A and B are shown apart, each in its own frame.
Chain A
Amino acid sequence: MPLIKIDDQELEIAKGETIFNAAKRIGIEIPYYCYHPGLKIVASCRMCLVDMVGAPKPVPACSTTVMDMPEARKVDGKYDAVISTTNERVLTARKAVLEFILLNHPIDCPICDKAGECKLQDYSYEHGNHDSRFIETKRIPEKKDLGPSIFLYTSRCIMCSRCVRFTQEITGTEELKVRNRGWHSEIDVAPGHPLDNKMMGNVVDLCPVGCLIDKHERFEGRVWNFVHTESVCPGCSKGCNTVLDTMKHQKLNLEELVDTVYRVRPRENMEVNQWWICDDGRYLLEGNKDRKRLHFPQIRVNGSMAEVSWKASLEAAAEKIKAGGKVVFVGSPYASNEENYLLGKLAKAVGAGVDVSKPLMGEMHTFKTEMNKYPFTIESEKAPNFRGAKDVLGLSSSNEEASLSAQTVVMLGNDHLNLQKKPSTLIAIASFENAVSKLADVVLPAAIFTETSGTFTNKDGRVQKFNKAVQSPGEAKAVWQILVDLAQALGQDFYYESVGAITKEMTEQISVYKTVDVSALFAETSWVDENIIA
């Protein structure tokens, strides 16, 4: 293995490992724009140039590897390469690249959505010139509408070509192209072929500057106001890791501050989603904006629904469950393991049956290209936790039709269920007004996945935690709290301090989950970026 020295630190590097990765391993950050671990290396931005003893000119760290040198060519008798990332030659090169990039950049940071998390801003502060020597007129190309959800602020582009490589290598759709040559180069789409695929949102995350901007997020918030929370996408059974960026803001006619999820970003997990998420998951919460949330508990009085207190609704529900006849508690592939586990536990305690409803099925979509080592698949099972729900409820499949014919049904979640025939008594724990809640006798308003914590088990059996990012609206409560309250109304002695306590009990009780490390799941996962100063 070649022995190298980077800035006075000695290390051995593997064959084929780049200087960039080696430096990263020992904590040396080399600035870059065009490099991305998931894309082909082009070494065109020239930001990562480093100085190598013996090389006639600076070399790009992102593409340069080191070989075992013959004895005669070793530096200081033992190093296969001696690299400096901070000497004068490197710093001049970096400064020059930044100067070149900024020649045409509009420097419109005050109105740019990327400001605060922009690599060009960061590196300019760190390595750049403070004054421009460019007194000519800047080239200011027009903003372009690339497709249904992306704008291209052409003038901000630094031509790193990450977005172009993404559509070539990851999605294989090849919508984005470089048009023209040299100074006039621009990213563009061909007429009649807009950027429109199920992963296009990723190009916005890929863009190191504010050139590609998501129409859903444009002018909605400033990044330094965000709180970031680790989450898991509930869009399908793949279980992509995400980050929810939330922000408090004042809604019209409401006095207190409300926090909302401003955007969903992918979180790197090489074993699940690599660096990407699909647009179905990214814009999942956008779809909820048009739907009516249930804010207060309701019970059916003389055929119509009336909003009541939690106490009254829970008592009504308990009375109906105790009324006799066959009772079935139906779990949900959309609810967390903890919620389904608690539902099952409660059903067992009151002597009722359990079941789980079927997930919504959709289209499976795989992005396969020659160059992509990890083809990205959007699963056909459009629910995050069917496998987990079955595991914790001890079921092997759904028996939905039979369950719905029971006398009394307690239904968890299940927005998509289109009930043909109402069971005699229906108690719905639901977040949105839907077919089930409209027919229900008792409606208990529940939090959605962004408003509570828990775990989902993806199709491969990977148990992943999502975290509470925002508050529930109105009087809606987390499902596990509703179930604990319902248990108490039914005379059961259920008490849990937090979701973590349920997870702990669940991993002890459910044999397949015995190996799950609870402490790892419940590490701190919400943070504020303190590097950004408001």
Chain B
Amino acid sequence: MEKVLTKMVGIENSRNIDVYLKSGGYQALPKALKMTPDQLVGMMKDAGVRGRGGAGFPTGMKWSFLPKDNPNPRYLLCNADESEPGTCKDRVLMEEDPHQVIEGLAISSFAIQAHTCYIYIRGEYVNGAQVLNKAIQEAYDKGYLGKNILGSGFDLDITVHRGAGAYICGEETGLIESLEGKRGWPRIKPPFPAVYGVFGSPTIVNNVETLVTPVHIINRGIQWWKDNEPKLYCMSGHLNRPGVFEAKIGINLKDLIYGDDYSQGIAKGRKLKAVIPGGSSVPVLKADECDVAMDFDALAKAGSALGSAGCMVMDETTCMVNALWNLIKFYAHESCGQCTPCREGGHWMEMVLGRIETGRGRMEDLDLMLETANNIAGRTICPLGDALAWPIAGMPDKNKGGDLSGNSFVTKFRDEFEYHITNKKCKVTIPHEWN
């Protein structure tokens, strides 16, 4: 399959603007500047682009929420605070092909008529920030950024802002607060950022991969996009060939795991046990549930979510209690501490799981966890509470009146949890060569 998003990966000096130009770069920008902003927003709507950061919100619709009569300047924030465990797609885009990102940002900024764009990059991506800064300078020098871009009269400045190492600053309003120099505590919505965002002005916050899409829609057309929508999948875990792979959206998860073009199967010839398909915050899939298309709707139907497409594959040697403990530790650590349920509940769950893992669990702890997860999910300002609860107890279920379905770690691998509690040890024995 033809690579689109990752075309430049592997090419020598792919970060250089001349190499990017030679391979057909910066062709979409002049075309976009000849269109009207409304046409561009309409194009995104027609193409049906959904946000690639996790929630999958339709991008064109988000852009059209900007108020027409607000006199304040508009801002585009590129969310490059890629902190979801198991996700590494934006890093590839920024580090290997920064000009594609810049071209996408320029087109998107023009579409929403923003003259200032911030790239909020996570603090740990030191290299990414350096690469981006160098590329931005090159783009300024060639006239793709700055005043009067390509003679169109459109001005744009892009600034790279490095985060300070907080998962919560990847949440759009937490990101805005952090960018404003405040503590990264998410805001209550409404008002949404499109109305009251950074510095109180209308703001659009989108993921890096989302903001790259208009480049290819303009170059290849809406119909091509609808037929061949490319998506980056981050494959990690017990695989022969982990990494970031580009595939058509909706590729079967089994193909991603076993396909020769992709991860080439489970390492050391072991058996597949479970997959977390969309970054650590989504419910886990058992091995027999892995015959599923990797797109928003199919995964939602399977009781999980595409999220950020960070696929974590676990083989038969994985202790599911330990795996969940590890995940919840992360979310408890990263909870900002603003709302009660996530602040207190997250750490409590970490403690309960720690007890079970270390042989001090009680049978009632399992129901306690399911109930508490329900008390956290949907009761917080931002989705971190959900991200914490879903791995424990699954996605919200309409049939249960919005309560969590229960289809995740604790229910799907209940036998392992029970084995841990009664026998005070792991059901899986880790083979010798791992120690």
Hey, which bits of chain A sit against chain B, CB under 8 A?
A: 41-47, 49, 56-58, 60, 63, 89, 92-93, 96-97, 99-101, 103-104, 133-134, 136, 158-159, 161, 178, 180-185
A181–B188 touching, CB < 8 Å:
no
Residues in A whose Cβ lies below 8 Å from that of B379? 46, 49, 57-58, 93, 96-97
A185–B341 touching, CB < 8 Å:
no
- Cβ of B346 under 8 Å from chain A: yes
B375–A96 touching, CB < 8 Å:
yes
B340–A136 touching, CB < 8 Å:
no
Q: CA of A261 to CA of B401 in the docked complex: distance in angstroms?
A: 54
Within the complex, what minimum Cβ distance (angstroms) separates B258 from chain A? 37
Residues in B whose Cβ lies below 8 Å from that of A89? 401
A-B pairs with CB below 8 Å: how many?
Answer: 95
- Cβ of B139 under 8 Å from chain A: no
B339–A182 touching, CB < 8 Å:
no
Residues in B whose Cβ lies below 8 Å from that of A185? 337, 343
Stretch at the interface among B14-22, B49-57, B328-336: B328-336
B342 (CB) vs chain A CBs: closest residue:
A182
The 8 closest A-B pairs by CB, nearest first: A57-B378, A185-B337, A96-B375, A182-B335, A100-B344, A183-B347, A136-B351, A44-B338
Q: A93-B379, A183-B346 are in contact. Are A56 and B396 (CB under 8 A)?
A: yes
A178–B337 touching, CB < 8 Å:
yes
Most chain A C-beta atoms within 10 Å of own C-beta, residue among B332, B333, B343, B401: B343
Q: CA of A133 to CA of B367 in the docked complex: distance in angstroms?
A: 12
**Which of B183, B347, B378, B380 meets A56, CB within 8 Å?**
B378
22 A-B pairs, CB-CB below 8 angstroms?
Answer: A43-B381, A44-B340, A45-B340, A46-B339, A46-B380, A49-B379, A57-B396, A57-B402, A60-B188, A63-B188, A93-B375, A96-B341, A100-B345, A103-B348, A159-B340, A178-B183, A181-B166, A181-B336, A182-B342, A182-B343, A183-B335, A183-B343
Hey, which bits of chain B sit against chain A, CB under 8 A?
A: 166, 183, 185, 188, 332-348, 351-352, 355, 368, 372, 375, 378-381, 396, 401-402
Residues in A whose Cβ lies below 8 Å from that of B372? 96
B338 (CB) vs chain A CBs: closest residue:
A44
**Which of B185, B188, B334, B340 meets A158, CB within 8 Å?**
B340
B347–A182 touching, CB < 8 Å:
yes
**Which of B337, B381, B402 meets A181, CB within 8 Å?**
B337
Within the complex, what minimum Cβ distance (angstroms) separates B256 from chain A? 31
Residues in B whose Cβ lies below 8 Å from that of A57? 378-379, 396, 402
A181 (CB) vs chain B CBs: closest residue:
B337
Within the complex, what minimum Cβ distance (angstroms) separates A336 from chain B? 47
B332–A182 touching, CB < 8 Å:
yes
Q: CA of A178 to CA of B336 in the docked complex: distance in angstroms?
A: 11
Most chain A C-beta atoms within 10 Å of own C-beta, residue among B185, B336, B340, B401: B340
Q: CA of A67 to CA of B336 in the docked complex: distance in angstroms?
A: 31
Taking A42-B338, A58-B379 as given, write out 20 further A-B residue pairs in contact, using a Cβ cutoff of 8 Å, ordered by the A residue number: A44-B185, A44-B339, A46-B379, A56-B378, A57-B379, A60-B188, A63-B188, A92-B375, A97-B340, A99-B375, A103-B348, A136-B351, A159-B343, A181-B337, A182-B334, A182-B335, A182-B342, A182-B346, A183-B343, A183-B344
Q: CA of A481 to CA of B409 in the docked complex: distance in angstroms?
A: 80
Within the complex, what minimum Cβ distance (angstroms) separates A91 from chain B? 12
Within the complex, what minimum Cβ distance (angstroms) separates A342 from chain B? 56
Q: CA of A136 to CA of B355 in the docked complex: distance in angstroms?
A: 9
**Which of B185, B341, B346, B378 meets A97, CB within 8 Å?**
B341
Residues in B whose Cβ lies below 8 Å from that of A58? 378-379
Residues in A whose Cβ lies below 8 Å from that of B338? 42, 44, 159, 161
Q: CA of A158 to CA of B337 in the docked complex: distance in angstroms?
A: 10
Q: A93-B375, A96-B341, A159-B340 are in contact. Are A181 and B348 (CB under 8 A)?
A: no
B344–A101 touching, CB < 8 Å:
yes
A46–B341 touching, CB < 8 Å:
yes
Most chain A C-beta atoms within 10 Å of own C-beta, residue among B183, B337, B345, B346: B337
**Which of B337, B396, B401 meets A180, CB within 8 Å?**
B337
Q: A58-B379, A182-B336 are in contact. Are A104 and B396 (CB under 8 A)?
A: no
Within the complex, what minimum Cβ distance (angstroms) separates A19 from chain B? 13
Q: A43-B188, A58-B378 are in contact. Are A183 and B332 (CB under 8 A)?
A: yes
Residues in A whose Cβ lies below 8 Å from that of B378? 56-58
Q: CA of A161 to CA of B338 in the docked complex: distance in angstroms?
A: 9
Q: CA of A47 to CA of B339 in the docked complex: distance in angstroms?
A: 10
Within the complex, what minimum Cβ distance (angstroms) separates A448 from chain B? 45
Q: CA of A92 to CA of B183 in the docked complex: distance in angstroms?
A: 31
Q: A43-B381, A60-B188 are in contact. Are A101 and B340 (CB under 8 A)?
A: yes
Q: CA of A404 to CA of B339 in the docked complex: distance in angstroms?
A: 64
Within the complex, what minimum Cβ distance (angstroms) separates A396 from chain B? 49
Q: CA of A92 to CA of B336 in the docked complex: distance in angstroms?
A: 24
Within the complex, what minimum Cβ distance (angstroms) separates A80 from chain B? 15
A183–B340 touching, CB < 8 Å:
no
Residues in A whose Cβ lies below 8 Å from that of B340? 44-47, 97, 100-101, 158-159
Within the complex, what minimum Cβ distance (angstroms) separates A162 from chain B? 13
Q: CA of A78 to CA of B342 in the docked complex: distance in angstroms?
A: 36
Q: CA of A97 to CA of B339 in the docked complex: distance in angstroms?
A: 10
Q: CA of A58 to CA of B403 in the docked complex: distance in angstroms?
A: 11
Residues in A whose Cβ lies below 8 Å from that of B341? 46, 96-97, 100
Residues in A whose Cβ lies below 8 Å from that of B345? 100
Residues in A whose Cβ lies below 8 Å from that of B185? 44
A97 (CB) vs chain B CBs: closest residue:
B340
Residues in B whose Cβ lies below 8 Å from that of A47? 340
Most chain B C-beta atoms within 10 Å of own C-beta, residue among A158, A159, A180: A159
Within the complex, what minimum Cβ distance (angstroms) separates A138 from chain B? 11
Residues in A whose Cβ lies below 8 Å from that of B336? 181-182
A41–B344 touching, CB < 8 Å:
no
A103–B344 touching, CB < 8 Å:
yes
Residues in B whose Cβ lies below 8 Å from that of A92? 375
A159–B351 touching, CB < 8 Å:
no
Within the complex, what minimum Cβ distance (angstroms) separates B401 from chain A? 8
A56 (CB) vs chain B CBs: closest residue:
B402
B335 (CB) vs chain A CBs: closest residue:
A182
Residues in A whose Cβ lies below 8 Å from that of B401? 89
A164 (CB) vs chain B CBs: closest residue:
B183
Residues in A whose Cβ lies below 8 Å from that of B335? 181-183
Residues in A whose Cβ lies below 8 Å from that of B166? 181
Q: CA of A58 to CA of B401 in the docked complex: distance in angstroms?
A: 12
Q: CA of A136 to CA of B362 in the docked complex: distance in angstroms?
A: 12
A44–B183 touching, CB < 8 Å:
no
Q: A92-B375, A181-B166 are in contact. Are A159 and B348 (CB under 8 A)?
A: no
A104–B344 touching, CB < 8 Å:
yes
Within the complex, what minimum Cβ distance (angstroms) separates A295 from chain B? 53
Q: A49-B379, A56-B402 are in contact. Are A41 and B343 (CB under 8 A)?
A: no
Most chain B C-beta atoms within 10 Å of own C-beta, residue among A97, A159, A182: A182
